[in-house]
Structure 1
Amino acid sequence: MTAHQHGAGTRPRLVAHVVPAGERLPEPGELRRHLARLLPEAAIPTDVVRIDALPRTASGKLDRAALPTPGAADGGPADGRTPRTATERRLAGVWAELLGRPAVGVHEDFFALGGHSLLAVRLAERLRERFGVRVPLARLYGAPTVAAQAAYLDGAGAGSDRVVPLGGTPGAVPLVLAHPLGGTLFGYRELVAELAGEFEVLGLQGDPSSGAAPGELGALAAGYARELAPLLAGRGPVVVAGWSAGGAIAHEVAVRLREAGVPVARLVVIDAEPGRAPGAPAAADGSDGADGGRPGLTVGRLEELRAAVLREGPGALLADAASGRAGAVLATLGVDAAALAELDGPTTATLLAYWRDLLAALGRWRPARFAGEARLVLSLADDPAERERAAAGWRELTGSLTVAYTAGDHFQMLRRPHVGAVADAVRDRTEPRGA
């Protein structure tokens, strides 16, 4: 595989050049789905190019410069299905600009083509400019093809902005995944792939591009539960899960679903800090929330970055990351400084304000008790005393708690191969994996 850049200002795309063993080359989507079972998401190619043989130099080494670029042969969309309506044509043009592709098929997946959470924010901006419609990030995740997004735009934006169908098996046990501090669901893609055959998966998506974060975590969870309750009525017990700050949100949603009469089979908390007991003082910088234990991540530092972006533009993030000032904060959020700096100043400042305010809400969080079964997944990379402290905290907040472990760190645990331990906790297989 090689990285190719298509045009100035575009990010490199990972390209696989394939020599078929027989006459037939599997479809690009089929190949990507196969590789998704073997490779981490970042290593899955966005383009697949068929070649008859690998080009060689005179010395017999691979001649990378001679490998054809994607679309060089015909410039058409990989799935062969060109836009059919005016909306699809306009939308496909926007996609092609952002993804650096000559053309996009109407059924190609935005994320399979190299899209990511911050590029989705840019897509939402571009759609607002071109179509005059504000498209929530939840809709971009739930409708990741040109055809589905065009139908949404033509339908004047029907549907929930916060509850997103993530796939899985219709009619199977419902699994609800709560967004972490970043507000998006993109980090759960490999977990969803692991569980798709056993659950019908719904996601709770924040809207960080709006800049609006709740004053209290309980209010956010109550709103999510109100939208979920009619969708889950009569479905049988549901599993509610969340990673990092999403674990705190999942906890509160599970409490409120039970209060609304929705049976919850279990809560799954994935490497999240427990909230403080009622009456305990909050840290002034918001660092005692479910993500606040991560190095460098405080309300104050996020506000400093936001102010710098408003003064100097998004390029300030690159300078700060290079000097180390912003590096720890953005790394803890799982955000690429270069990708964030590609946004315009107001949008970047809005994202930082959302993260700041949600972190502050986590710092003020005083959890209710979930009187049901819970599973806690912790990282063996963390200090044993920290793991025991987290487990003790969650035992106080749940009816019964089983702890499982994975060798992956806080970010690796949602990636292969470590995501298997998380999937087992969701399935209710409690044997430690990756230990």
Structure 2
Amino acid sequence: RHEAVQEAVVLARDDGDGQPYLCAYYTAASGESDASLSQQASEVSELRNYLKAAVPDYMIPSYFVPLAAIPMTGNGKVDRKALPAPQGHVLTGTPYAAPRSEVEVVLAGIWQDVLGISRAGIDDHFFESGGHSLKAMALSDEISRVLGISLPLQEVFLRPTIRELAACIELHRVREDQHDKHQHLVLLKKGKDQNRHIFMIHGGSGDVTVYVPLVNLLQDNANYWGIQLPTWEQPSPKRLSIEELAASYAGYMAEIQPHGPYIIVGMSLGGTIGYEVARLLEARGQQVERLILIDSHAPAAADTAVVEFSLETELELAGDLLSRMDGVDVLTETGLMGSCRTMEEVWNHVIQTVEQHERRDELLAGIKLLADEDIRQTIPQFDQLSLGKLLPYVHLIRSLTAALTRYSLQPLQHCTPDLIIASASADLEAARWCAGGRGHVRTYSAEGDHYSIFTAPYVAGLAAIMQELIQNKEAAGQPV
């Protein structure tokens, strides 16, 4: 559909290690086949950006190969066997920048080995240079082995260039004593203006990777910081408070930007945390330029039943969960009621019993079927997780949701929140934000539902609204 493309064919090819990747072949609409490498690189970059707004990241080809003509068979069909394998370096549209430090040199070597390319520049994008999720795992493992550090796979997705990864590794070394604190901050996108920052708060899963497709479409005139909860290690809930989380997050923001005006973004439950962060900052005399809430439900009325956790509640929930496993008397097998003395013991017992059971896969599948759609959509890679990895996410969500029941909106002094509502969120009442905060909000509508609003193709519409709000202090919205 792109105006610069005449014909296109996309193949799934094998990288030689048994891993598939997508390769796109195309002819130019202009009919010119002798464009310079720089022209081709610019064209490829444009095509990538075009696809980012239309399809999920995993559908974007790793390679783009310009051809003078698509090869055809004698009967007029595309001759797929005649399409050449991509050779040499990948045209990413990024000017080559050589490694400058020891860490960047090491990373460039690992980059080249994993991707099978002859040269890696420090600004080349891993996933635009032939990388995919399995190669990202190999990259993370090799960096951890060679440099003797523990590099989470998530960092490759969030910092997909050598320059960004090297900075992350060097920061880790310099500030290792503050490692736990900086687990909360993730630089989602580096901007040209190092004095301008936008802070984006996690939703119900505690993770900020959902923002990546959005920030990729926003202008790079600011640093986009994700504020997340570190990995939830324990397989049980704990008491959290919106007020305590907001106070901590305001402190992390102040380390990056000591004074206002601040721009704060919160998705889903993160909207409530962002609201409280804004309230705290205003109480300290700081200016909040923008508070953007993305499909965020206001906290319920104060008379709503407050959720608390105890050994009794967890025994009851675990027992109910296991009793639903048809044909397997897991409840009796666990000895659950008599042996557990803490909430953590309850869920560790459940995990151990299920994962050691001869019908483990069947039990895990049955447990996952009981999860509601919100849990399935909120937890990253839900279908691939073991019970030991799944339950900490579930309890994190329970803990954050319970914190929401204990929180009561207080009015903001100056800032008027901007509320972006997904078109499918019919039950989201903007008026509840006004009633609780005794103020006003401006509302905007974006296509999609609570989850798809952050994915292609709907994320392009969300990005357009966000860009207007970030750029203009007086954006046109519907006051409530």
**1:381 and 2:424 matched:** yes
Contact 1:251 1:370 in 2 (8 A): no
Q: Give the total of aligned pairs.
A: 401
**1:74 and 2:88 matched:** yes
Could you say what secondary structure the match of 1:335 adopts? coil
Match of 1:19 in 2: 27
Distance 1:46 1:184, change over 3 A: farther
Contact 2:158 2:209 in 1 (8 A): no
Distance 1:319 1:108, change over 3 A: farther
CA distance in 1, matches of 2:84, 2:372: 36
Match of 1:31 in 2: 46
Contact 2:115 2:129 in 1 (8 A): no
Note the alpha carbon deviations across 1:369-396, whole angstroms, 9 max, x for none: 251311111122233xx133xx232223
Could you say what secondary structure the match of 2:266 adopts? strand
Match of 2:246 in 1: 221
How far 1:60 moved relative to its partner?
1.6
Note the alpha carbon deviations across 1:212-249, whole angstroms, 9 max, x for none: 99741433322221121143234x42221122232233
**1:46 and 2:68 matched:** no
CA distance in 2, matches of 1:136, 1:259: 37
**Percent sequence identity over aligned pairs:** 23
Match of 1:60 in 2: 76
Contact 2:266 2:272 in 1 (8 A): yes
Match of 1:191 in 2: 214
Note the alpha carbon deviations across 1:250-289, whole angstroms, 9 max, x for none: 223222333343311232111122223445323579xxxx
Contact 2:159 2:165 in 1 (8 A): yes
CA distance in 2, matches of 1:363, 1:119: 38
How far 1:413 moved relative to its partner?
1.9
Could you say what secondary structure the match of 1:275 adopts? coil
Amino acid at match of 2:228: Q
Contact 1:257 1:264 in 2 (8 A): yes
**CA RMSD in angstroms, aligned pairs only:** 4.5
Match of 1:253 in 2: 277
How far 1:121 moved relative to its partner?
7.8
How far 1:152 moved relative to its partner?
3.8
Tell me the TM-score normalized by structure 2: 0.67
Contact 1:179 1:243 in 2 (8 A): yes
User: Structure 1: which 5+ runs fail to align?
Assistant: 286-302
CA distance in 1, matches of 2:131, 2:230: 17
Match of 1:4 in 2: 13
CA distance in 1, matches of 2:138, 2:353: 17
Larger Rg, first or second structure (1 or 2): 2
Amino acid at match of 2:71: P
How far 1:410 moved relative to its partner?
1.6
Matches within 5 A, 1:273-352: 273-278=297-302, 280-283=304-307, 307=351, 311=355, 316=361, 320=365, 324-325=369-370, 328=373, 331-333=376-378, 335-337=380-382, 340-341=384-385, 349-350=388-389, 352=391
Matches within 5 A, 1:97-246: 101-103=115-117, 105=120, 106-113=122-129, 127-135=143-151, 140=156, 143-154=159-170, 156-158=172-174, 160-165=182-187, 166-170=189-193, 174-196=197-219, 199-208=222-231, 215-216=239-240, 217-234=242-259, 236-246=260-270
How far 1:172 moved relative to its partner?
6.8
CA distance in 2, matches of 1:425, 1:261: 23
CA distance in 2, matches of 1:403, 1:281: 29
